[in-house]
Structure 1
Amino acid sequence: MIDGFTNTRVDTGDVTLSVHRAGTGTPLILLHGYPQNHHCWAMVAPHFAQHFDTIVPDLRGYGDSDAPADDAAHTTYSKRRMAADIVGLMDALGLDRAHVIGHDRGARVAYRMALDHPDRLHRLGIIEIVPTGDFWDSWTADLALKAYHWTFLAQPAPLPERMIGADPAAYADWTLAQWTLEKSLKVFAPAALASYRAQMADPAHRHAMCADYRAGAFFDRQLDATSRKAGAQIAAPLHFLWAEGGFPAQTGDPLALWRKWAPQVTGNACRSGHFAIEENPEAVVSAFMNHLRGN
Structure 2
Amino acid sequence: MDAFESFTITTQTEPRVDIFGLKSGDASSSQKPPLLLLHGFPQTHHIWHRVAPQLTEAYTVILIDLRGYGQSSKPDGVASYAKSAMARDCAAVMTQLGYHDDETPFFVCAHDRGARVAHKLCVDYHTRVRAAILLDICPTLAMYEATSFEFARAYFHWFLLIQPAPLPETMLLANPRKVAEAFMGGRPGGAGLRIFAPECWERYVAGLGDEATVHAMCDDYRAAATVDLDEARADIKEGRLIKCPLKVLWGQHGVIEKCFDAVKEWKQVSSKDVAVEGHSVDSGHYIPEQVPDVVVSEIKQFFAV
* Residue number in structure 2 paired with 1:18: 20
Task: Give the secondary structure class of the aligned counterpart of 1:124.
Answer: strand
Note the residue ranges of structure 2 that are not aligned, 5 or more in a row: none
Partner of 1:229: 237
Q: How does 1:91-102 map to 2 (within 5 A)?
A: 91-96=95-100, 97-102=105-110
Q: In the TM superposition, what is the alpha-carbon distance from 1:182 to its structure 2 partner? A: 4.1
Structure 1 residue 253: deviation in Å? 1.3
Q: Which residue of 1 aligns with 2:224?
A: 216
Over residues 165-209 of structure 1, what are the superposed CA-to-partner deviations in whole Å (9 max), with x where a residue is unaligned? 110121122221122514510000001100001111110001000
Trace 1:1-295 onto structure 2 (pairs within 5 A).
Answer: 2-13=1-12, 14-23=16-25, 24=29, 25-70=32-77, 74-96=78-100, 97-179=105-187, 181-262=189-270, 263-293=274-304
Counterpart secondary structure, 1:91? helix
Asked whether the equivalents of residues 112 and 136 of structure 2 are also in contact (C-alpha less than 8 Å), the reply is yes
Partner Cα separation in structure 2 for residue 98 and residue 248 of structure 1: 27
Q: Distance in 2 between the 1:220 and 1:246 partners? A: 23
Question: Aligned letter for 1:225?
Answer: R
| SS of residue paired to 1:114 | helix
Aligned residues between the structures: 290
Residues 95-123 of structure 1: per-residue CA shift (max 9 Å, x gap): 13211111000000001011011111111
Alpha-carbon RMSD: 1.3
Distance across 2 between alignment mates of 1:154 and 1:128: 21
Of 100-109 and 180-189, more deviation after overlay is shown by: 180-189
**1:37–1:180 distance in 2 versus 1, CA, 3 Å:** farther
The alignment partner of 1:90 has SS state of: helix
Contact 2:37/2:61 (8 A) holds in 1: yes
Paired AA for residue 154 in structure 2: K
TM-score between the two structures when normalised by the length of structure 2: 0.92
SS in 1 for 2:192: coil
The alpha-carbon deviation at position 12 of structure 1 amounts to 2.1
Counterparts of 2:158 and 2:282 in 1: how far apart (Å)?
Answer: 24
Q: Aligned partners of 2:260, 2:91: CA distance in 1, in Å?
A: 33
Deviation at 1:137?
Answer: 1.4
Return 5+ residue gaps in structure 1 as ranges: none
Q: Is the 8 A contact 2:250 2:280 kept in 1?
A: yes
Q: Which amino acid aligns with 1:4?
A: A
Identical-residue share of aligned pairs (%)? 36
User: What secondary structure is seen at the aligned counterpart in 2 of 1:49?
Assistant: coil
The answer on whether the counterparts of 1:180 and 1:272 sit within 8 Å (CA) in structure 2 is no
Provide the rounded CA distance (Å) in 2 between the counterparts of 1:57 and 1:171. Answer: 24
SS at structure 1 position matched to 2:162? coil
